[in-house]
Structure 1
Amino acid sequence: MEILTVIIPEVVGKVIEYTIVPAGRQVGYLIHYKRNRQNLRLQLKNLDAAKERLKHTVYEFERKGKGIHDDVQNWSREADEITQEAETFLDDVGQVRTKCVHGICPNLVSYHQLSRKSTKLVKKIELHVKIEFPSVSYNAPAEEIFATPSEDYMAFESRNSMVKKILEELRNPGTNLLGVYGTGGVGKSTLVQEVYRQAKKENLFDDVVIVLDAKQYPEAEKKERIQKKIAEKLDMDVQESQDIEGRAKTLWNRIKDKNIFVILDDVWEAINLEALGLRPMATCKILLTSRDRVSEMRTQKEFRLEVLGMEENWSLFEKIAGDVVKDDSIRKVATKVAKKCGGLPVLVVAVASALRSESTLEVWKDALRRFKSGLANPAYLALEWSYNRLDGEELKPLFLLCGINAGGSC
């Protein structure tokens, strides 16, 4: 009897737990159908408000150049999916209610199913709204402006083939110091920018750093300025109190266990890389560009960048000059003007841009006469002519300033 006294209440409790309680819950779905539906609408408004708050927060961080964590972006996508699911469900509810009004009796099965679905969606929304993030944003590394090629970029076969060869060497564990050389204005900077893009796209390295126009820095400050620029591009805190030797140690400690690629563009003379904190090796590859071979740098692989061939020269000129060269009479003269640019992209772009809006044949003939009659280097004649064609006196000093800074490093 004592055993029955213990067992019977327990059995009754289990019966209630597994039969009466679930049954009551199912009946509750019917009784509270309207309340569950209204609660879903209320929770949907709460979700929309949470989405808007996060949207504003993300917008403020993005304006400051911050990166947004993946879990935050995933939350927003999932919130949109839940919203779509709930709105579709509520539309279906409206259709069922309409059918019930015109029927003989309410569709109790549909009411039960819809009420039950409302409750589940409410719980789903409540759980999603309660999610908190340790942080929303992070300091995203600044992307180089040329990481995306400009619309004016033309992928010539002569340049594409060299980019492929350079990338092949970068994949070679035994090659760690490469050089590209060629006359000023031939397109070295444009070429290594494409190497930079491809190396980033293919994820060949943990970090890819490029320092353009290294020759622009004053000689006394060159090493330090280049070193600081590399450190900044690696998102390192540059300590002004450190000397070049101390900074070199810090830089080396940052990159020694990484797979890194550094491009130094337009180096006119030998640079002591180790003094900067760089050491060419399997995990630290370096690419230099210069007008002439820098033999002291002892590059393992060198590439000479030649001027554009006639076909590529004209293709670039035609693209920059635009529709004006479609006129047969102008086109005949334009091809001769383009040829005078000598296959140097910097000159092709300068001259074609200056003539882009000129639809008068005489202007084109005048340009050709100037190139033919000049005794000086055609490159200087082309630049001088482009300078004289500038509209507005305020543009000419800017043109000269750009020339001083660039020094033919293209």
Structure 2
Amino acid sequence: MLVSDCGTSRNNNLGVVAILGMGGVGKTTLAQLVYNDEKVEHHFDLKAWVYVSEDFDVVRVTKSLIESVVRNTSSSASKVWESNNLDILRVQLKKISREKRFLFVLDDLWNDNYNDWDELVSPLIDGKPGSMVIITTHQRKVAEVARTFPIHKLKLLSNEDCWSLLSKHALGSDEFHNSTNTTLEEIGRKIARKYGGLPIAAKTIGGLLRSKVDITEWTSILNSNVWNLSNDNILPALHLSYQYLPSHLKRCFAYCSIFPKDFPLDKKTLVLLWMAEGFLDCSQEGKMAEEVGDDCFAELLSRSLIQQSNHVGRGKKFFMHDLVNDLATIVSGKSCYRLECGNVSKNVLHLSYTQEVYDIFMKFKSFNNFKCL
């Protein structure tokens, strides 16, 4: 769809491909695969990636698109995206996309208001024919409002594919050659049928089982009561992955809830934060604190609770899947909080906020009463 020349659209030269599916089914992963594809890379003059989320704001998304384009092209243009004037931003977005064939990705779009959508994309209609926007969303109405091509709906994995993905993360292979592994396969296939065909669940459970290649351990996970949880927001598979973490890793993981969704995690910075908070116990390890922190990070990475980004726009950064971020927020309770999420408990220990161009002192006034921060 992206590289074809025959794609007509309602918005002049602009085509919109909507990837639809439930959380954790792989919408962003698919978008990353095509975004990084060599044929796609050579087909477009400009590429940019923006994470949208529930908090849809035309000014913020427009600013993010401009910033992403300027950084990807190493442009020396002034930082016009720091403006909050939508008219100025729209003029700049139109200027940098005019006469160019571009590919923009709007990841995790929730807003189904057509006027908002039209306001966002109207500066893009003067691009070269073949210019494309990919959106990922879990709501059909959003996809129907935005798309110009047929909606690309991602289905859940089959039981066989679930097992294949689980076994590769757990054992590095889906081939079994002895009686012990044959028994593990029988148990593993039963586990694979429990997590509903979601790749994110297969990866996290696979990461959990990787450190427990033992029939008793696998049976314990299969028979866990966690599978009976009925939380619509958090998958039982993710709960299990957290439940089986050592206590020091639970602290490190829960602390990550202070980062907004899709926030690029820098390994070194995160390890330094864990050190500063006293989460890393070096007394029995015989290692420096940084080494212990690196081990903790590697363990969370191996369990897919942290993932490495695989699209060009992120560089060598790491991130947490939205569902994993939700899990971290729940397990951290009232100890960690993000200011933009609303009312903050006075007992909060760790708090973060998203810096704005013109921050006002008044929004921090209530911190005077926080005795545990």
| TM-score, with length taken from structure 2 | 0.57
What SS does the corresponding residue of 1:299 show, helix, strand or coil?
coil
RMSD of aligned residue pairs (Cα, Å)? 3.2
Change (3 A) 1:247 1:199: farther
Matched, 1:330 2:172: no
Q: Tell me which residue corresponds to 1:376.
A: 230
Q: Tell me which residue corresponds to 1:272.
A: 117
What SS does the corresponding residue of 1:289 show, helix, strand or coil?
strand
What SS does the corresponding residue of 1:359 show, helix, strand or coil?
coil
Q: Which amino acid aligns with 1:250?
A: Q
> Which one has the bigger helix percentage?
1
Q: Tell me which residue corresponds to 1:108.
A: none
Q: Which amino acid aligns with 2:6?
A: N
Matched, 1:288 2:130: no
Taking the aligned partners of 2:33 and 2:217, their CA distance within structure 1 comes to 35
Q: Tell me how far 1:185 sits from its aligned partner.
A: 0.2
The Cα offsets for residues 180-207 of structure 1, whole Å up to 9 and x where unpaired, read as 1100000000001111122655611112
- Candidates 31, 35, 45, aligned match of 1:192: 31
- Correspondence 1:10-409 to 2 at 5 A: 166-167=1-2, 170-175=4-9, 176-198=15-37, 200=39, 203-211=42-50, 213-215=51-53, 219=57, 222-232=60-70, 233-236=72-75, 237=77, 238-239=79-80, 240-241=82-83, 243-270=85-112, 271-275=116-120, 277-279=123-125, 282-293=129-140, 294=142, 295-322=144-171, 326=176, 327-370=181-224, 374-376=228-230, 380-391=235-246, 392=248, 393-398=250-255, 400=257, 405=262, 406-408=321-323
Change (3 A) 1:201 1:343: same
Taking the aligned partners of 2:161 and 2:126, their CA distance within structure 1 comes to 35
Percent sequence identity over aligned pairs: 24
Taking the aligned partners of 2:238 and 2:258, their CA distance within structure 1 comes to 13
Taking the aligned partners of 2:260 and 2:68, their CA distance within structure 1 comes to 25
What SS does the corresponding residue of 1:272 show, helix, strand or coil?
helix
Q: Which amino acid aligns with 2:157?
A: L
What SS does the corresponding residue of 1:214 show, helix, strand or coil?
strand
Q: Tell me how far 1:389 sits from its aligned partner.
A: 1.3
Q: Tell me how far 1:399 sits from its aligned partner.
A: 5.8
Taking the aligned partners of 1:403 and 1:357, their CA distance within structure 2 comes to 29
Taking the aligned partners of 2:5 and 2:324, their CA distance within structure 1 comes to 27
Q: Which amino acid aligns with 1:304?
A: K
Q: Which amino acid aligns with 2:52?
A: A
Q: Which amino acid aligns with 1:319?
A: K
Taking the aligned partners of 1:184 and 1:206, their CA distance within structure 2 comes to 31
Change (3 A) 1:373 1:287: closer
Taking the aligned partners of 1:251 and 1:229, their CA distance within structure 2 comes to 10
Q: Tell me which residue corresponds to 2:370.
A: none
Taking the aligned partners of 1:245 and 1:200, their CA distance within structure 2 comes to 34
> When the two structures are aligned, how many residues end up with a matched partner?
243
Tell me, yes or no, if the aligned pair for 1:355 and 1:364 is still in contact at 8 Å: yes
Greater CA radius of gyration, 1 or 2? 1
Change (3 A) 1:362 1:183: same
Q: Which amino acid aligns with 2:96?
A: R
The Cα offsets for residues 21-60 of structure 1, whole Å up to 9 and x where unpaired, read as xxxxxxxxxxxxxxxxxxxxxxxxxxxxxxxxxxxxxxxx
Tell me, yes or no, if the aligned pair for 2:47 and 2:104 is still in contact at 8 Å: yes
What SS does the corresponding residue of 2:162 show, helix, strand or coil?
helix
Tell me, yes or no, if the aligned pair for 1:307 and 1:342 is still in contact at 8 Å: yes
Q: Tell me how far 1:243 sits from its aligned partner.
A: 1.8
Change (3 A) 1:333 1:241: closer
Q: Tell me how far 1:407 sits from its aligned partner.
A: 2.7
Tell me, yes or no, if the aligned pair for 1:263 and 1:287 is still in contact at 8 Å: yes
Q: Tell me how far 1:235 sits from its aligned partner.
A: 4.0
What SS does the corresponding residue of 1:257 show, helix, strand or coil?
coil
Tell me, yes or no, if the aligned pair for 1:317 and 1:348 is still in contact at 8 Å: yes
Segments of structure 1 that go 5 or more residues without pairing to the other structure are 1-165
Change (3 A) 1:404 1:221: same
The Cα offsets for residues 89-117 of structure 1, whole Å up to 9 and x where unpaired, read as xxxxxxxxxxxxxxxxxxxxxxxxxxxxx
Q: Which amino acid aligns with 1:272?
A: W
Q: Which amino acid aligns with 1:195?
A: V
Q: Tell me how far 1:344 sits from its aligned partner.
A: 0.5
